[in-house]
Amino acid sequence: MGIVDEDVARVRAATDFLLIAGEHVALKRVGRNWMGLCPFHNESSASFSVNAEQGLYFCFGCQASGDVITFVREIEHLDFVETVERLAGRAGIELRYDDVRESHDRQRRSRLAEAVERAVDWYHDRLLTSPDAARARGYLRSRGYDGELVRRFRLGWAPDDWDALAKALRVSDDVWRDSGLGIVNRRNRQQDDFRARVMFPIFDAAGTAVAFGGRKLEGGEGPKYKNSRESALYAKSRTLYALNWAKGDVVRANEVIVCEGYTDVIGFFAAGVARAVATCGTSLADDHFRMLKNFARRIVLAYDADAAGQAAAERFYEWERHYELDVVVANLPAGADPGQLAERDPEALRRAVTEAHPFLAFRLERALGAADMTTPEGRARAAEAAMAVVAQHPSALVRDQYVMQVADRCRIDATRLRSLPAAPSLASSSRSGVHSGPNGAAVYSRRRGGGGQEADGPELEALRLAVHRPEDVAHRLEEVLFADEVHLAAFRALAGAPTLHEAIAGADPDAGLLLQRLAVEETTADGDDVVSRLVAEAGKRVLAGLEAEARLSSEAFAAVAAKGTVAWLRAELARLPAVDALDRLVPWLVRWAEEEE
Ligand SMILES: [Zn+2]
């Protein structure tokens, strides 16, 4: 595993779960717990609950559950060690590793990240203060960037020099190379990768600097934009520019705007829409969607999505279905990119997002808008083109509605349209537009929020108390009092572990899930009352067995003994909730259970 257990526990204890969860979920206090819309499944009413004191969460909808480490892991797509390292970094805890090799890799990554971070600072400082950056500053001013924006995005300037950064950083050759900052040339000298470029530092979702995009100035050499090479820190397909700054707003709005360029993103921020991200010199890929689905359900494409072609369209539909997302296209004026629109008309940029169209509607508009609708031949061609677009959508229900639109616009009968050569293939699609919910979602949906606790029997109530107020009940509970297998397993896990977290970790999956859920539920139950009801139920179970024994026993002696015990047990049970009866019954039940074995 890598990190020593003790340090993992320290990190968990030092981390404020509410603070972390609050970056992704809008949480509202409900009683002693907090509730919000689950970031792990699509829902419209809150079933994601957090027990802040214990740092545990449970979703009554999809049963996602865990502690702050699981939460960060799932939402940021990190592995366990990365997650603990990130949280340790926030909490200022130095970690110890029990595996030397792993420790070495981690240290190496953090050395690379440190080098990139220093480069960010150095480039930024050059932009702000260096005389040779005057043209870069002029360019940024001309695009409407003020000092605040430049600082917010930590923009920089790579001077027109072949080793200025290398000389400033003075890192070892392998760190230099592996961090993607530059190369070691044939004469064994470190050489900068970026020169004479405005620098846009790229951070991962957690805010660690991982790479750069560099834009050349007018008359400069090479392509307009240049990106860092991929490195141990930086994979293009898993990085979205500005997600580190945007994610709070993205979660609040349940919407993320995806642009093609850094300046488009900054344009959105400047226009007051702080939920834009950009792919880094690559097209939107599966990994991007897997990341985004944790943050928002609505993906607004703020670029010419039609140019990406039909293959892209099919992928979008597939992602919509698979990740239960809505992919829409911002209604940008023809030919305008968001960066320019932000300078010219920020209001129009904001409107382009609110007036976004579903991807299919957008493509249809493209097909029909360009057509000549004045002649029957023109309308027929338009209809064919439009139907080819409609045919790609995997849902028959969705397709059918668009067929009606095409029929209206082209003045062609819908039945005729459906029989066009392009159309039949869509009917055979095996994919359906219906989303199936997560398995077993209904199992725990009964107890959303507070209230309604009467529905639970004393076993669950006792476990809930044992989780929340162990001092009230823990010492009075015994295994024999639990008839349900999962309840019993949960009780054993609780009784055998010093903390709730360790109990959850040590329990079998069903019992662990139950404990997670109980941790986010509330109880106002009275310990004495619950224990008394619990003992009464256990007593009645034993009583039923003894009565059967007394009736069925062929041996007279056994029958008499059983009858005597039955009479005693009945009398004691009738005296409940008297404390003296309780004090006699519990040890008797324990002994009875031992003899039964
Ligand atoms: Zn959920």
**Residue 569 backbone zone (phi > 0: left; psi -120 to 50: alpha; other: beta):** alpha
Cα 31 to ligand 1 centre (Å): 20
Expressed in angstroms and rounded, the spacing between residue 501 Cα and the centre of ligand 1 is 21
Q: How many CA atoms lie within 13 A of 114 on its CB side?
A: 12
Q: For 358-391, what is each residue's pLDDT tens digit? A: 988 988 888 888 888 888 888 988 998 899 889 8
Contact 403/414 with Cβ under 8 angstroms?
A: yes
CA of 1 to the centre of ligand 1 (A): 27
Ligand 1 center to 36 CA (angstroms): 10
User: Cα of 181 to ligand 1 centre, how many Å?
Assistant: 41
Gap from CA of 173 to ligand 1 centroid (Å):
47
More confident residue, 98 or 242: 242
Q: In what order do the strands lie in the sheet with 28-30?
A: 28-30, 33-36, 48-51, 56-59, 65-67
pLDDT band at 592; cut points 50, 70, 90: confident
* pLDDT value of residue 570: 92
Q: What is the Cα–Cα distance from 113 to 90, expressed in whole angstroms?
A: 15
Tokens of residue 199, six digits? 């620098």
pLDDT in tens, 462-494: 999 999 988 888 888 999 999 888 999 999 999
Helix (H, G, I), strand (E, B) or coil at 326: strand
Long-range contacts formed by 446-451: CB under 8 A, 24+ apart: 447/60, 447/521, 448/45, 448/47, 448/60, 449/30, 449/35, 449/46, 449/49, 450/30, 450/31, 450/522
Cα 382 to Cα 400: distance, rounded to the nearest angstrom: 17
**What tokens does 307 get?**
């140019």
| 158/335 Cα distance (integer angstroms) | 31
State the distance from the centre of ligand 1 to the C-alpha of 521, rounded, in angstroms: 15
Q: How far is the CA of 451 from the centre of ligand 1 (A)?
A: 20
- Ligand 1 centroid – CA 450 distance (Å): 17
Mean pLDDT of 10-28: 89
pLDDT over 70, % of the chain: 92
CA of 66 to the centre of ligand 1 (A): 12
Q: Which amino acid is at 138?
A: G
Q: How confident is the model at residue 421 (pLDDT cuts 50, 70, 90)?
A: low
Do residues 89 and 114 lie in contact, with contact meaning Cβ atoms separated by under 8 Å?
no
Instruction: Specify the pLDDT at position 437.
Output: 33
pLDDT for 22 beyond 90: no
Residue pLDDT, tens place only, 330-348: 998 877 889 989 999 999 9
The yes-or-no verdict on residue 434 having pLDDT over 60 is: no
Q: How far is the CA of 464 from the centre of ligand 1 (A)?
A: 21
Distance, CA of 553 to CA of 560 (rounded, Å): 9
Pick the more confident residue, 209 or 290.
209
Gap from CA of 78 to ligand 1 centroid (Å): 19
Taking residues 256-283, what's their average pLDDT?
A: 92
**Structure token pair of residue 44:** 């419209």
Which tokens in the block code for residue 58? Answer: 């449970």
Give the mean pLDDT of 495-510: 88
418, 403 Cβ separation under 8 angstroms: yes
R_g (Cα) of the chain, nearest Å: 32
User: CA of 254: how far to CAs of 87, 206, 277, in Å?
Assistant: 25, 19, 14
Strand order in the sheet with 156-158: 156-158, 197-203, 209-216, 225-227
Cβ neighbors of 386 (< 8 A, separation 6 or more) are: 364, 367, 368, 406, 409, 410
**pTM of the entire structure?**
0.60
Written as one string, the DSSP assignment of 111-171 is HHHHHHHHHHHHHHHHHHH-GGGHHHHHHHHHTT--HHHHHHTT-EEE-SSSSHHHHHH--
pLDDT confidence of residue 152: 95
How remote is the CA of residue 32 from the centroid of ligand 1, in Å?
Answer: 20
Q: What is the whole-number distance in angstroms between the Cα of residue 293 and the centre of ligand 1?
A: 13
pLDDT band at 248 (very low <50, low <70, confident <90, very high): confident
pLDDT of residue 251: 83
Task: Summarize the confidence of residues 442-466 as an average pLDDT.
Answer: 61
CA of 46 to the centre of ligand 1 (A): 9
pLDDT of amino acid 430: 34
Q: Which distant-in-sequence residues (6+ apart) come within 8 Å of 554 by Cβ?
A: none
**What is the torsional sign of CA 503, 507, 511, 517?**
positive
Give the distance (Å) from ligand 1 centre to CA of residue 438. 9
Contact 330, 299 (CB under 8 A): no
300 alpha carbon to ligand 1 midpoint, in Å? Answer: 23
Distance 445 CA to ligand 1 centre (A): 11
Please report the pLDDT score of residue 453 as a whole number.
38
59 alpha carbon to ligand 1 midpoint, in Å? 5
Contacts of 571 (CB under 8 A, 6+ apart): none
- Ligand 1 centroid from CA 263, angstroms: 35
Question: How large a percentage of the chain has pLDDT more than 90?
Answer: 42
Q: Which has more pLDDT, 78 or 431?
A: 78
What is the pLDDT averaged over residues 171-195?
A: 93
